[in-house]
Structure 1
Amino acid sequence: MDWDRPECDQDRPEWTGIDPNATGIDLNKTGIDPNETRIDLNETGIDPNATRIDLNETGIDPNRNLKPGWTQTGI
């Protein structure tokens, strides 16, 4: 192919309008702060200290299966 002919200009890679050096994503221009992607439990509304189940708050009586006069031994 004769690169010096004007009709061949459109076939040259440098005339495509695509800059191969500008196709990457720049995190500084996306609005995404890589330092703010961690989840902070204090901001999610989840209290990490309140995840245990308290039988007294579930409505389940841990002594309900005991026969009258029996005590729970943990065995």
Structure 2
Amino acid sequence: MNQKKKITHMQVGKYQVSPLTRSLPDGCFSAGVSIRSGRGTNTTDRVMRFTPSFRSAAAADRYATQEGLRWIDAAH
């Protein structure tokens, strides 16, 4: 099944980082991350998808989380 699955999320200052994984037809997993900030009508959600595939959902989750945290560090 080719579904997105939100595994966890973490709050980092004003940002909410939510790694996303998706199972691929070959049995591997793709990674993405949602970085949300703001509230109500001022909410911004940045979604990034990454090229590498991973052998496990946990590995994809770790990669997405690391990339989300790297983006936050670069934004400051």
TM surpasses 0.5: no
Which gives a bigger RCO, structure 1 or 2 (Cα 8 Å, sep 6+)? 2
TM-score range, shorter chain: under 0.3
Q: TM-score, normalised by structure 1?
A: 0.17
Higher strand share: 2
TM-score by length of 2: 0.17
Which structure has the bigger radius of gyration? 1
Q: Which has the larger share of helix?
A: 1
